[in-house]
């Protein structure tokens, strides 16, 4: 009888690798450019939303949705989105940037997209889609928190300089 378990899974848990190693920064493979492209695509939504966080209409909308202290928290969330988005985009302390994005996403998702409390089925469905979108972005932020910015980033350049020094 053959086993369907991968050889790496047959090793005792203490000897298994906890995560995949990051590729070398001098890899010539074209796939290394997928990481900065992914960081760009991920950060765009946060960076594009920043100006709206300082508009009276956005603050009023957040107040209507039940955000406490909207005149303070909405601009603060804009700052989190800006700093986290730039950090991830540039790959500069991307783990911290991803933490800022997570701190932005958790309350925004729970307060602004509370689909379960909306009586209109159409609006509830729209907010559920937005809620799920935010959950997927939170998942991506958690991945960046774990794996970092990857190759072709300011973090990778800093790491190469530190190893060479």
For 110-144, what is each residue's pLDDT tens digit? 999 999 999 999 999 999 999 999 999 999 999 99
In a domain, residue 23? The reply is: no
As for how many domains the chain has, the answer is 1
Tell me the Ramachandran region of residue 66: left when phi exceeds 0, alpha when psi lies from -120 to 50, beta otherwise.
Answer: left
User: Residue 37: in which H helix or E strand, if any?
Assistant: helix 34-49
Q: For residue range 58-79, what is the model confidence (pLDDT) as tens digits?
A: 999 999 999 999 999 999 999 9
pTM value? 0.79
Q: Which domain holds residue 127?
A: 35-164
In a domain, residue 10? The reply is: no
In a domain, residue 9? The reply is: no
Rounded CA-CA distance 108/51 in Å is 16
In a domain, residue 2? The reply is: no
Tell me the Ramachandran region of residue 154: left when phi exceeds 0, alpha when psi lies from -120 to 50, beta otherwise.
Answer: alpha
């Amino acid at each position: 009888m053959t086993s369907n378990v991968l050889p790496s899974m047959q090793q005792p848990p203490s000897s298994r690798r906890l995560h995949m190693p990051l590729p070398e920064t001098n890899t010539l493979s074209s796939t290394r450019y997928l990481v900065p492209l992914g960081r760009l695509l991920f950060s765009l939504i946060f960076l594009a939303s920043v100006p709206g966080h300082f508009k009276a209409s956005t603050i009023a909308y957040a107040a209507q949705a039940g955000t406490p202290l909207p005149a303070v928290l909405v601009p603060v969330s804009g700052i989190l989105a800006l700093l986290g988005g730039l950090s991830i985009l540039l790959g500069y302390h991307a783990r911290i940037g991803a933490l800022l994005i997570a701190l932005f996403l958790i309350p925004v998702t729970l307060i602004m997209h509370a689909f379960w409390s909306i009586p209109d089925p159409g609006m509830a469905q729209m907010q559920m889609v937005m809620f799920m979108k935010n959950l997927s972005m939170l998942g991506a932020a958690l991945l960046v928190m774990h794996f970092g910015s990857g190759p072709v980033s300011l973090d990778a350049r800093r790491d190469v300089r530190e190893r060479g020094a």
